[in-house]
Amino acid sequence: MTPSVFDPGLESITVAETELSDVDGEAGELVVRGYPIAELAANATYEESVALLLDGDLPPADRRETVRAALTDSRGLDDAVRTLVETAAAAGVDPMDALRMGVAAATLGTDDEGPSATALRVIAVVPTVVGTYWRARRGESVVDPDPSLSHAANYRYMVTGERPTAAETRALDAFLTTIVDHGLNPSTFTARTVVSTESDLVSAATAAVGTLKGPRHGGNLRRVFELLRTAHEADDVGAAVRERLADGDDLPGFGHRVYEVRDPRAAVLSAAMERLPVGGEFRATVRDLESAGVAALDDRFPRRHAAATVEFYAAALLYAVDIPPALFTPTFAVARVAGWMAHCLEQRADNVLVRPVSRYVGPTGRTWTPVEEREPTDGVTERAAVEPVSETLQTLAEPARLEVLFALAAADGPVAYSTLRERTSIEDNGRFNYHLRQLRGAFVADGDAGYALTAAGERFVETVLADDAFPADP
């Protein structure tokens, strides 16, 4: 069966039903198990967030203590695993690679414990692996977890060797809860895909760590911090932002693929950082940079409405509680691992193999040629020559995109976004946005007055209508 929509990023494809979290990019809302993220992050410890995701409800006192005890009992590393992580650190291995190895090694034998116990072991051991790696990387003594400390406090303790204050622990709890789950993001989708093959939760976790490492997912946090540090050292934050954009650089931490307004998690982490009693000058820089970045991007791209993302305030908050920038992405994993495990358990409960299809665009009709009869090649294939044409045909092959083009062709002039949506039958907002993005640039222009066909778009529509290839009213 050929899919009706070619969507390489799967933005308009629903591949799972979940009770874990709901992301509304248009309204700028995130709900976890029915609770708005702002309310949850302002009140929950990370242990409570873990129980909420795994159980479905906020834990009563006895269940909360059971989860805390299970995490405490599962947090340690044996000597062999510790040596492995220390060796990786001494060799200068990337922290996310060391985390992937450490999680795999630290969870050997957990298959016999059952999926729920394995999930808790994976959640518990991630901060210990990160802390062990960092202390060894710096040539310092490894700090064992303290059973008297909470999950968040233990993480800061194992990284820095100092017990955090109550305010720092509260800020870290807010961070961990805010990041704990966020729909079917790339690493979570990876984890669910692994489990859909009936593989184990540890394999899913290590695959998710590898996915999170990528700079287009969690690996961008270091760049956000570098931007923050540059702004903090600048005499004029606004001028520094404008100069950066003028040089052709981007602004990491601004503009989210899902949210059309400010990322709700940015607001939560901003509030958490404001509650910290230290770092007033740095907090002022963060506020100034957000204002300057939004203003500069709105001036350059007035229709995009770029706003600060969770990465922007995640980098600021983690720096404020003394988490080293090199550990920003691993710290993201410390938080998100509970979401990965909850999604894995949910996938197991009603499993369907995740198996999308691809659209073949390569050559056809070939026959075998003996090696002595093959023509020499300079490395440029026929595929390279036809690629631009192939990509154009792919772009215009979707009926929904043709509908957008015809709606613009029928208009007297530029059309506002809301009007254009009303003139098509595409009801799903995400699907409409996806198809519009695919057309923008080559076939659709996005100007200050609204959307309109480019010259190429006009030629295409005129050709289609002249050839009567499609009915006049799509």
Residue 424 inside a domain? The answer is yes
Question: What's the pLDDT score for residue 383?
Answer: 47
- Amino acid identity of residue 313, one-letter, is Y
Q: Is 308 helix (H, G, I), strand (E, B) or coil?
A: strand
61 and 117 fall within a common domain: yes
CATH number assigned to the domain comprising residue 67: 1.10.580.10
**Residue (of 96, 44, 51, 53) closest to 71 by Cα position:** 51
Judged against a pLDDT cut of 60, whether residue 254 lies above it is answered with yes
Residue at 448 is within a domain? yes
> For residue 194, is it within any domain?
yes
Helical pair 328-349 and 46-55, crossing angle rounded to 10 deg: 20
In a domain, 3, yes or no: no
54: tokens are: 């795994």
Domain of residue 411, residue span:
388-466
**Partners of 52 in the β-ladder:** none
* Domain co-membership, 270 together with 209: no
Beta strands 450-453 and 29-32: pairing type? unpaired
Alpha carbon distance 342, 344 (integer Å): 5
* Same-domain check for residues 58 and 151: yes
Q: Within a 13 Å sphere around the CA of 440, how many CA atoms are in the beta-carbon half?
A: 13
CATH assignment at residue 446: 1.10.10.10
Do residue 282 and residue 330 come from a single domain?
A: no
Q: Do 236 and 329 sit in the same domain of this protein?
A: no
Residue 59 has a pLDDT of 96
| CB neighbourhood size of 441 (10 A) | 11
Quick one: 190 and 283 in the same domain?
no
Q: What gap in Å lies between CA 269 and CA 224, rounded to an integer? A: 15
**How many alpha carbons lie under 13 Å from residue 6 in its C-beta half-sphere?**
15
Same domain, yes or no: 299 and 262: yes
Q: Which residues contact 223 (CB under 8 A, 6 or more apart)?
A: 215, 252
Is residue 30 in a domain? no
Q: Which residues are catalytic?
A: 256, 311
Q: Do both 447 and 307 map to the same domain?
A: no
* Among candidate residues 319, 340, 369, the one where a domain is terminated: 319
Is the separation of the CB atoms in 15 and 354 below 8 Å?
yes
Task: Please tell me whether residues 41 and 95 are part of one structural domain.
Answer: yes
Q: What is the CATH number of the domain that holds 247?
A: 1.10.230.10
Task: Look at the chain and report how many structural domains it folds into.
Answer: 3
Q: What is the pLDDT of residues 5-28, one digit of tens each?
A: 677 777 777 888 999 999 988 888
For residue 379, name the pLDDT band (cuts at 50, 70, 90): low
**Residues 188, 200: one domain?**
yes
For residue 382, being part of any structural domain is answered with no
Q: What is the pLDDT of residue 4?
A: 57
Whether 177 and 266 share a structural domain: no
Q: Specify which residues 446 forms β-bridges with.
A: 451
Read off φ and ψ for residue 381, nearest 5 degrees.
-95, 165
* Domain assignment present for 269: yes
Give the residue from 146, 150, 153, 99 showing the smallest Cα distance to 125. Answer: 99
In percent, how much of the chain has pLDDT > 90?
51
Question: Are 201 and 275 in a shared domain?
Answer: no
Q: What's the confidence (pLDDT) of residue 388? A: 53
Does residue 417 lie within any of the structural domains?
Answer: yes
Longest Cα separation, the chain: 77
